Amino acid sequence: MKLTVSKEDYLKAVAEAESEEGAVIAATIARWLRVTPPAVALALRRLQRDKLTQIDSKGRILLTRSGRTISNRLRLRHHLVERMLHEMLGVEWYKVHEEAERLEHSISADVERRLMQKLGVNGACPHGNQINKSAANRRSSGLVPLWEAAPSGWLRVAGMHERDRGLLEYFDGLGIRPSARLKVLRRNYDGTLTLRIGNKTTHLGETAAKKVWVGKVQNPAKNE
């Protein structure tokens, strides 16, 4: 079996989409990777042929043990490269995902080992996300999407969806960054949230607010 960059990308996308959204079908991957349905169908046939994925009776894409092993390795490399770019080279947090998508395929096992020794594997990436943590894991630890947060006390940005560079730059311009503190002031009739971020108020729509995970601030006194 020849393991290509394309196969690695598909396997990682299945694992990431599964983590974020639950059940994964072909349309999910087409949206996730921004490719056409015929391209996804061809890729899935190849992955099934290589025994890296299976399709169940409901059309759900399942990773085999081999497929899961490969996707986990790629997700680890992506995590390490993002942290290297941000923590060691100072690349802006909203830029590192695209760079890591390219570099994760080319680093050697030796470089991967050295990055693990330098950075560890338990830290959060520059977007605030822990490696291999699913939406269910986040909810079980008390986090919720910003869209679901009730107007009340201060919240801390715990992580966010990282695949949309334009959205991340938009967040950065508003001051919505990992570890930033904000407060939901009200839910508006037009389907937006009014937020307080620092000394400013701003509005955020549902689609964007669903991409940010927040948790309660344990010691909010400094914000009041």
Could you give the domains of the chain? 5-63 (1.10.10.10), 77-119 (1.10.60.10), 137-223 (2.30.30.90)
Does the pLDDT value for residue 178 go beyond 90? yes
For 55-64, the pLDDT digits (tens) are: 999 999 999 9
Residue 4: band (very low, low, confident or very high) from pLDDT cuts 50, 70, 90: very high
Q: Which two tokens stand for residue 79?
A: 């995590």
Taking the C-alpha atoms of residue 9 and residue 132, their distance in angstroms, rounded to an integer, is: 16
Quickly tell me which residue has 């690349």 as its tokens. 91
What percentage of the chain carries pLDDT values higher than 90?
83
Q: Does the model's pTM come out above 0.75?
A: yes
Percent helix, percent strand, percent coil in the chain, to nearest 5: 50, 15, 35
Taking the C-alpha atoms of residue 138 and residue 93, their distance in angstroms, rounded to an integer, is: 21
Indicate the helix (H) or strand (E) that contains 209. helix 206-209
Note the pLDDT of residue 58. 93
Q: What average pLDDT does the chain have? A: 92
Taking the C-alpha atoms of residue 108 and residue 106, their distance in angstroms, rounded to an integer, is: 6
- Mean pLDDT for the stretch of residues 18-33: 92
- Mean pLDDT for the stretch of residues 123-152: 90
Does the pLDDT value for residue 136 go beyond 90? no
Taking the C-alpha atoms of residue 33 and residue 165, their distance in angstroms, rounded to an integer, is: 14
What percentage of the chain carries pLDDT values higher than 70?
97
Q: Note whether 28 and 21 are within 8 A (CB).
A: yes
Does the pLDDT value for residue 43 go beyond 70? yes
Q: Which two tokens stand for residue 197?
A: 């971020």
Q: Which two tokens stand for residue 58?
A: 């409901």
Note the pLDDT of residue 221. 57
